[in-house]
Each structure stands twice: as structure tokens, then as C-alpha cells.
């Protein structure tokens, strides 16, 4: 299978927001990080994939089959979780598992128990008693227990402490290591993507700005810290900010020579630096402090 998931020009129109011809694909073995500002369209896109909202134009295909036509069949092969579990908070994990198993023909009770044990997840605890990290692990345990081949997760690491986040990212890497499963997860915590994502899809105001290998995204830019505060090259920044002791900002890699000629050595940026400066430049926000 070339692609486990394909979105082709998916659009959704709201009175105050438009999802505009969103297109990207996910292959088996990939961890795709879906990034963008709050309100950029990440959750709308994920809900469109799962047919929780009805998009207006475009096509969504999973496992080589059109999602609308084969929705029930495809959902048997997908594990999906929104950012916060808030249904039946007074029910235990054990009782919720008995409900969940009814929806999946391949649900494996033994595998669920094994995964819960691996995750140190007490199945006799009520949902409301779980920490945010444990709720994410519960969602992943359900997905793994019906042999989901594609996990679609909305902000799975939001609100987690650093140790819990690191554990979840380790689990993600383990899930895809055999190249037969894939993960698509939205996040605004770009450091998580530095650790585990192979691919990036970046959405801005409902439009896809980039989709592809994380390395290609990072390699397109360089980060500059200029203690000389040379103002003659400000136009060569994508965006910059002036601090007391320096000017710093993001540049296109094709502009590096004009900085090097001035004795300034650009360095590789991280994802957070790229996203912050691109967002500021696209929204024409001032960086002058």
C-alpha cells in the first residue's frame, strides 16, 4: 500500500473560517506531525477524516478506499481520539472496555489487558481519576487492541508533564517501527515532533503551507543571531525581532550568503523557531520589542 491515508483538496466552509483544498498523504511507517496555530484548521481536518463533520468538497481515502463510501469498514482499522476524553467519566476503564469492544470486530481482550499492564494503566480506575497522560495511554490501548493500522490523535501530548510526554512518544515510535502502521497527530508542541515525527504537515489559516519530510522542512530555513545588529540586511529575513543585545530571526537558506558575507553564521533552526517566525511573518505581526 503506497498511502494509508489521502486527502485531496478537502474544503469546508464556515461563516468565519474556511478549510481550503487541504491535501496531504500518510504512508505506512510514518509519524506525521500536523502543526499550526490554534484555530488554523487542525481539528476540523481530523474530524473531516473521521466524517464527524461533513466537508463540502474534495476526497478522503483510507486504505485505498473512499472514506464516505467505506466509512464503517475503514473505521475498523483506525484508532481515533480527540484531545480530551470526557464521556462517561464515572465509569471504570474495565466497564468502558466492554462498551468499546462492541464496536470493533477484531477487539482482543487479552491484548487490551496486556497493553494496559505495559502502560501501568489500572483498569479498575474511573476515567475521571486518570491523569491526562493516562487518558492518552487509554486511547492508544483501545486502538492497539483492535489492531488499528492508522492512529489519528488530536493534541495527544497537550498538558502532559515531560516524563509522560516522553513515554507517549516512545510508544508512538514503537507502534510504527515495523512499517505496517502510521500515526497522524496534531500538536502545537513542536519539540515532540523533533523527537519522533518523520513528516510534517503545516496548516495556516485553513491552507496547507507545507507537507513532506520533516528534514526537508527544516533544511529550507536557517536561524540567525546577529549581535552586531546589522540593519542593512533586515529585508533578507523572513521575519526577525530586535532584542537588547542582538537581532535574531529566520531566513531562507538561499539567502545565507549575504549574512555570511557580513560575518554572521546562520545555524539550523528547530521546528518551534520555524513555526513561530513563519506565523509572525504571515500575520505581519511586529517583532520590535
pLDDT above 90 for 286: no
- Domain definitions of the chain by residue range: 5-217, 220-282
pLDDT digits (tens, 9 = 90+) for 234-264: 999 999 999 999 999 999 999 999 999 999 9
- pLDDT number for residue 289: 44
Residue with more model confidence, 25 or 98: 25
pLDDT digits (tens, 9 = 90+) for 131-170: 877 888 888 888 888 888 999 998 888 777 888 888 888 9
Measured CA angle at 202 (ends 201, 207), to 5 deg:
110
Give the predicted TM-score (pTM) of the model.
0.88
pLDDT above 70 for 190: yes
User: Dihedral of the CA atoms 44, 45, 51, 53 (nearest 10)?
Assistant: 20
- pLDDT number for residue 191: 87
Strand partners, 211: 201
- pLDDT number for residue 265: 94
CATH topology of domain 5-217: Rossmann fold (3.40.50)
3-state SS class at 105: coil
- pLDDT number for residue 209: 94
Beta-sheet strand order (sheet of 207-213)? 78-81, 150-154, 182-187, 31-35, 199-204, 207-213
Mean pLDDT of the region 181-199: 91
Distances in whole angstroms, Cα of residue 70 to Cα of each of 7, 82, 149, 153, 225: 15, 22, 16, 21, 52
Region of poorest pLDDT, from 31-40, 123-132, 156-165, 211-220: 156-165
Mean pLDDT across the chain: 89
Amino acid at each position: 500500500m503506497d498511502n494509508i491515508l489521502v486527502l485531496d483538496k478537502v474544503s469546508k466552509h464556515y461563516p468565519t473560517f474556511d478549510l481550503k483544498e487541504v491535501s496531504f498523504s500518510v504512508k505506512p511507517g510514518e509519524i506525521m506531525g500536523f502543526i499550526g496555530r490554534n484555530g488554523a484548521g487542525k481539528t476540523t481536518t481530523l474530524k473531516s477524516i473521521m466524517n464527524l463533520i461533513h466537508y463540502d468538497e474534495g476526497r478522503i481515502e483510507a486504505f485505498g478506499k473512499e472514506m464516505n463510501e467505506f466509512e464503517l469498514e475503514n473505521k475498523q482499522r483506525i484508532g481515533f481520539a480527540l484531545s480530551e476524553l470526557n464521556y462517561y467519566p464515572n465509569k471504570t476503564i474495565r466497564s468502558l472496555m466492554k462498551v468499546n469492544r462492541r464496536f470493533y470486530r477484531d477487539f482482543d481482550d487479552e491484548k487490551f489487558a496486556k497493553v494496559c499492564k505495559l502502560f501501568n494503566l489500572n483498569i479498575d480506575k474511573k476515567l475521571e481519576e486518570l491523569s491526562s497522560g493516562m487518558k492518552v495511554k487509554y486511547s492508544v490501548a483501545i486502538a492497539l487492541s483492535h489492531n488499528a493500522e492508522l492512529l489519528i490523535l488530536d493534541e495527544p501530548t497537550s498538558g502532559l508533564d515531560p516524563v509522560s510526554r516522553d513515554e507517549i512518544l516512545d510508544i508512538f515510535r514503537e507502534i510504527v517501527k515495523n512499517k505496517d502502521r502510521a500515526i497522524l497527530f496534531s500538536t502545537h508542541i513542536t519539540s515532540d515532533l523533533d523527537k519522533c515525527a518523520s513528516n510534517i504537515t503545516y496548516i495556516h489559516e485553513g491552507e496547507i503551507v507545507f507537507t513532506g519530510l520533516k528534514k526537508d522542512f527544516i533544511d529550507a530555513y536557517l536561524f540567525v543571531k546577529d549581535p552586531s545588529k546589522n540593519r542593512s540586511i533586515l529585508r533578507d529575513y523572513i521575519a526577525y525581532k530586535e532584542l537588547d543585545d542582538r537581532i535574531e530571526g529566520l531566513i531562507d537558506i538561499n539567502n545565507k550568503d549575504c549574512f555570511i558575507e557580513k560575518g554572521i553564521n546562520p545555524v539550523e533552526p528547530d521546528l518551534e523557531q520555524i513555526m513561530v517566525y513563519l506565523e509572525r511573518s504571515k500575520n505581519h505581526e511586529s517583532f520590535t520589542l
